[in-house]
Chains A and B, each alone.
With several copies, the nearest count.
Chain A
Amino acid sequence: MVIIKVRFHGRGGQGVVTAADILAVAAFKEGYWTLSFPMFGAEKRGGPVVSYLKISEEKVYDRDEIHDPDYSVVLDPMLLGRDVVLGLKGWLIANHPSLEKAKERTGWRDTVAIDATKIALEILKRPITNTAMVGAFAGFTKIVKLNTLKETVYEWFEKKGEEVAKRNVEVVEKAYKEVEG
């Protein structure tokens, strides 16, 4: 049984858990079994937060935290460092304006960088980068289709109002395409 393991890094308050959860729902819609959960921490807002996502064709039994992710997704450029590539087996997907700088900070070759903060500020007017990074992950991995993701994101944010939902969909799409391109 193949399990795709994704680890998300960010800070309390940045929506790291939501990032994993949105992707979980999207992947579930595509027929996968998914399991996502936050790092089991006692951190307060601002402290580093991690969340996990496992995607598989079959039910996932293993509930351990992910120590050997296939992907590491980093929502906050300040967090780029050794920690986020610990045990990493595949790609680092980083929020950073510069691919080179990002690589430099982590020492990880297989890195994709996207300036998620910029996208977020542009469209959401707030530096909440989780949806952008979700889009980037999907665009890069193609594990979930853009449309499924858009639908998921829309539904997710609908309760906060149509406007918010639409903007987040826009963010996702933009990030998806930027990475894909």
Chain B
Amino acid sequence: MRISLGAVSRPLESLNDKTGTWAVMVPRIDRERCIGCGECYMFCPDCCIEMVQEDRKRYAVVDYDYCKGCGICSEVCPANAIEMVEKVIE
């Protein structure tokens, strides 16, 4: 264990916490429907949506390692491109 001076902590070590395990439901983004508006990106409390530019299409991608499955993205998507689906339990 590392014990620092005054308990200062290094930045962004939260990335080691894969909060994706919290999710019961997860969003599935329909890439066809997605209009790349970025609403889901802006609203995701877990900062786990990325906007990807591919050719001339911009669309949203979920980082399931962190997505807690709150469902907000699905609620805010103006294109109805996000559906919440049950996470597969292995």
Contacts and interface: CB of A to CB of B under 8 A. Distances in A.
Q: Taking the complex as a whole, does A directly touch B, i.e. does some CB pair lie under 8 Å apart? A: yes
A11 B89 contact: no
A54 interface: no
Contacts of A96: 89
Contacts of A97: 89
Interface in A66-115: 77-79, 96-97, 101, 105
A127 B24 contact: yes
Nearest to A105: B90
A101 B88 CA distance: 12
A115 to B, nearest CB: 10
Contacts of A47: 22
Majority secondary structure of chain A interface residues (helix, strand, loop or mixed): mixed
- Interface size on B, as a range, is under 10
B22 to A, nearest CB: 5
Contacts of B22: 11, 46-47, 78
Interface residues of A, number: 11
A47 B17 CA distance: 11
A157 B22 CA distance: 27
A127 B21 CA distance: 17
A46 B87 contact: no
A77 B68 contact: no
Nearest to B23: A78
Interface of B: 19, 21-24, 68, 87, 89-90
Interface of A: 11, 46-47, 77-79, 96-97, 101, 105, 127
13 contacts: A11-B22, A46-B22, A78-B21, A78-B22, A78-B23, A78-B24, A78-B87, A78-B89, A79-B21, A97-B89, A101-B89, A101-B90, A105-B90
